[in-house]
Every structure is written in C-alpha cells, then in structure tokens.
C-alpha cells in the first residue's frame, strides 16, 4: 500500500481542466487557440495514461485505469496501449521488427518487397518532419491493420479492448458535440496531439548489438519534457519502469555516467538538438541494419 502520488494527480486534474477550457471558452474566444490547447491536453493525457499503465498515481490498477478512462485522443484503446507497451518493455527484443510492438524497423526482406512509393513514404517518416506530418497515419495504419487481423483470427482480448474503448470514446464525443468546438476542429487537435507525441518516440530506440545500448537519453528540462513526463530520460525509464515521472531527472543526475555507459553514449542535449539534426534528415534506415541478429 502506498499513498496517492499528488504531483501526478494534480497534473491530471489540470489536464482535464485545460481540455474543458480548450473545447469551450478558448474555442469561443479564438478557435485556433482552442485547438492548440486541446492538442496539448490530449498529448498530456496520453503521457499520463503511460504513467497509469506503469502503476501511477495509485497503488490500485483499477483506480489508475479509471483516472485516465476518457479516451481524449479517440483512436488508441487504453487496454491495447497497456498491453503493447508492456510487451515493448522486454528490452531484449527492443527494435525487433517482429516482436517489438513499437518499433519502426522492418525486416530487410520485407522492406525489399515493398512498392517504391511505400519505401519513399517510410523513409520520409524517418525524418522528424515526416514523423510530425505522416507519422500518425503510418503508425495508426499499421496498428489498426494488425488489430483487425487479430480480431478476425478470433483474438478475444483485443476485441474486448476495442469494445471497452467505444465506451471510453462516447462521453468524449458527446461532450465535443455539445461544446462550442466543431467536431472537425477536435479531430485536427487529436491528430496534432499524436504528432506531438511522435517527437518523443522519434528516436527513443536505435539498432545496437547490445540491448542496453538501444535506448536514448535526451537531457531536456523544457516544456516538451513536461509534456512527455520526463520520458526523454528513456533509458532511466526502461531500467526503472515503476519509477514515477517526477523522480526520473534526479535519478538520472545522480547516476549520469552509469546510464550513459550503459546506453553506449546514446544521448542528445535537448530536443532543439534533435530538431537541428533530424528535421529533414532521416535518423537511420527503415530496414533493420543488424537483422537478422545472431
């Protein structure tokens, strides 16, 4: 038993408040302002959902699920997010084209069989500009296609996750329908939120012979670090997945040399450096450069 984590609860309350303001008062005052605030609230809610699946802010899993239950982002079922992300935390399989649910790498054999237009789109998707623009489409296409195939094959768990998701989406759609913000504007905000989250996931992992060398650190303490709940200290998160977001920077600062030795110096000083280096230049190739692994 442990006490509720008040920093997370406070941020959760502020996020819901921002979402309400964005879809009502701000949308009336100036619709673009409402859309920007809604996108920020939806992205922050996704980061808080990530905290929930790792056991925060409550000791009770049911309480954590309830805390982030409304599907503000509309498209990704929480139960699917939970299952795929926890599977992703098997570090031995990081970047595996088949067994890492969050990888962007492909088996080189599969890559060679793709149409040229698809190869060009996926290569563009490996630039930060591509990830911001077409990244949500690419990610959701792969995700939805995989889940649809699993449902057709009789996967009861995935089907149940989507049915549960419908119940989480309905109150959000009812609210937006009644709110001053137009539905189309909310859909744009939801897409923009997914684009913001692609900044975080863009180079979280790389191909490396050692599993411990595949996970990044971005030493940023600015607004994006807050939006991503310090998940930019990603190697720290992977080593201590049950640690609350607000403890990660201190944990990193106390053991910086250890973490950078562990991930073989895979570090960026800030998100500004990430933008400078990779906004128009692909971070790596789509076919896994070390595949098949020994």
Provide the β-strand partners of residue 268. Answer: 218
The predicted-structure confidence for 34-76, as pLDDT tens digits, reads as follows 999 999 999 999 999 999 999 999 999 999 999 999 999 999 9
Give the integer Cα–Cα distance in Å for 165 and 178.
21
Report DSSP letters for 46-101, one per residue.
HHHHHHHHTT-S-S-HHHHHHHT-S-TTSSS-HHHHHHHHHHHT-GGGTT-TTT-T
Segment 156-171, tens digit of pLDDT? 999 999 999 999 999 9
For residue 294, what pLDDT is reported?
59
DSSP state of 246: G
Contact status, residue 216 vs residue 270, Cβ threshold 8 Å: no
pLDDT at residue 1, rounded to an integer: 64
Please give the structure tokens belonging to residue 104: 């962007």
Contacts for 46 with CB less than 8 Å, ≥ 6 apart: 72, 73, 76, 193, 197
Q: Which sequence spans correspond to the domains of the chain?
A: 6-202
3-state secondary structure of 247: helix
DSSP 218: E
Q: Name the stretches of the chain with pLDDT < 50.
A: none
pLDDT recorded at residue 3: 87
Q: How far is the C-alpha of 108 from the C-alpha of 281, rounded, in Å?
A: 21
**pTM listed for this prediction:** 0.97
Residue 159, pLDDT score: 97
């Amino acid at each position: 038993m442990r006490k509720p984590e008040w920093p997370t609860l406070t941020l959760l309350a502020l996020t819901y408040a921002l979402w309400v303001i964005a879809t009502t008062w701000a949308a009336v005052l100036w619709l673009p302002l409402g859309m920007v605030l809604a996108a920020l609230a939806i992205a922050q809610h996704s980061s808080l959902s990530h905290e929930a699946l790792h056991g925060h802010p409550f000791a009770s899993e049911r309480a954590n699920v309830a805390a982030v239950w409304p599907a503000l982002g509309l498209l990704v079922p929480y139960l699917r997010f939970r299952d795929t992300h926890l599977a992703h935390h098997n570090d031995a399989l990081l970047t595996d084209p088949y067994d890492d649910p969050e990888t962007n790498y492909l088996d080189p054999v599969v890559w060679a069989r793709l149409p040229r237009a698809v190869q060009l789109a996926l290569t563009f998707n490996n630039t930060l500009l591509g990830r911001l623009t077409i990244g949500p489409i690419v990610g959701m296409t792969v995700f939805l296609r995989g889940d649809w195939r699993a449902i057709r094959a009789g996967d009861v768990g995935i089907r149940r996750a989507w049915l549960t998701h419908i119940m989480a989406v309905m109150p959000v759609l009812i609210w937006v329908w009644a709110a001053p913000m137009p539905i189309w504007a909310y859909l744009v905000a939801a897409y923009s939120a997914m684009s913001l989250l692609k900044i975080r996931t863009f180079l979280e992992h790389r191909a490396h012979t050692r599993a411990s060398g595949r996970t990044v650190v971005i030493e940023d303490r600015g607004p994006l670090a807050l939006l991503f709940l310090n998940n930019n200290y990603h190697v720290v998160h992977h080593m201590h997945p049950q640690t609350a977001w607000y403890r990660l920077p201190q944990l990193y600062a106390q053991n910086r040399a250890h973490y950078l030795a562990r991930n073989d110096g895979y570090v960026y000083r800030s998100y500004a450096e990430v933008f400078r280096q990779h906004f128009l230049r692909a971070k790596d190739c789509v076919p896994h450069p070390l595949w098949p692994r020994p």
